[in-house]
């Protein structure tokens, strides 16, 4: 869980670097992926901070579910980048719901963006940010699953 939390913080930091230093404007799907990363980091820290096996296992499974949700959004964005629609529509409705949510004043201005989800502004080894995000979310889910089974196996060995 420490590896997951540190990885999420590093990826969020890199995303903010690309936004504020590199000048890349995040799209609504990128913002949703950021929220997923933040939630995963918080859940991983909760799992680390508690010594209660039940909470650790529950937090680990919530990390898996959140990572799979983030992977779905990243996969959808990758698909939109590979097969851009005639009219650019990348989930502005989701962003609109976030905008009109009553707690919008609590959402930091740093997490707002209006970039185009189909546009590829940055690549590394041939993969876009969405491609790498998908791989990271899948990796997080895998590590969280392994961590969950490790927590379960250590608690069952102590009982036996």
pLDDT in tens, 112-156: 555 666 666 766 787 787 888 899 999 999 998 988 888 777 755
Question: What whole-number percentage of the chain has pLDDT above 70?
Answer: 71
Confidence of residue 40 (pLDDT cuts 50, 70, 90): very high
What is residue 147's three-state secondary structure? helix
Q: How many residues does the chain have?
A: 160
Determine if residue 125 is left, alpha or beta; phi over 0 gives left, psi from -120 to 50 gives alpha, anything else beta: left
Residue 110: pLDDT over 50? no
Domain 2-159 has CATH 3.30.300.30: no
| C-alpha span between 84 and 77 (Å, rounded) | 10
Please, what is the angle between helix 53-82 and helix 129-159, to 10°?
160
Burial of 158 (0-12, 13-18, 19+ CB in 10 A): exposed
Question: What whole-number percentage of the chain has pLDDT above 90?
Answer: 21
CA dist list (Å): 82 to 28, 76, 127, 130, 156: 17, 10, 11, 11, 46
| C-alpha span between 46 and 79 (Å, rounded) | 33
Which residues make Cβ contacts (< 8 Å) with residue 131, sequence separation at least 6? 74, 78
Residue 104: pLDDT over 80? no
Single pTM value for the model: 0.72
């Amino acid at each position: 869980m420490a590896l997951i939390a540190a990885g999420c913080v590093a990826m969020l930091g890199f995303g903010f670097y690309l936004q504020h230093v590199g000048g890349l404007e995040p799209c609504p799907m990128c913002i949703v992926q950021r929220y997923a990363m933040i939630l995963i980091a918080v859940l991983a820290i909760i799992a680390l901070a508690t010594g209660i096996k039940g909470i650790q296992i529950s937090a680990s499974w919530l990390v898996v579910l959140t990572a799979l949700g983030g992977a779905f959004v990243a996969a959808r964005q990758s698909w939109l980048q590979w097969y851009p629609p005639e009219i650019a529509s990348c989930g502005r409705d989701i962003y609109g719901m976030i905008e009109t949510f009553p707690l919008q004043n609590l959402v930091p201005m740093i997490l707002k963006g209006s970039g185009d989800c189909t546009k590829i502004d940055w690549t590394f080894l041939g993969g876009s940010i969405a491609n790498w995000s998908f791989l990271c979310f899948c990796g997080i889910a895998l590590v969280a699953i392994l961590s969950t089974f490790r927590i379960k196996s250590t608690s069952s060995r102590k009982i036996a």
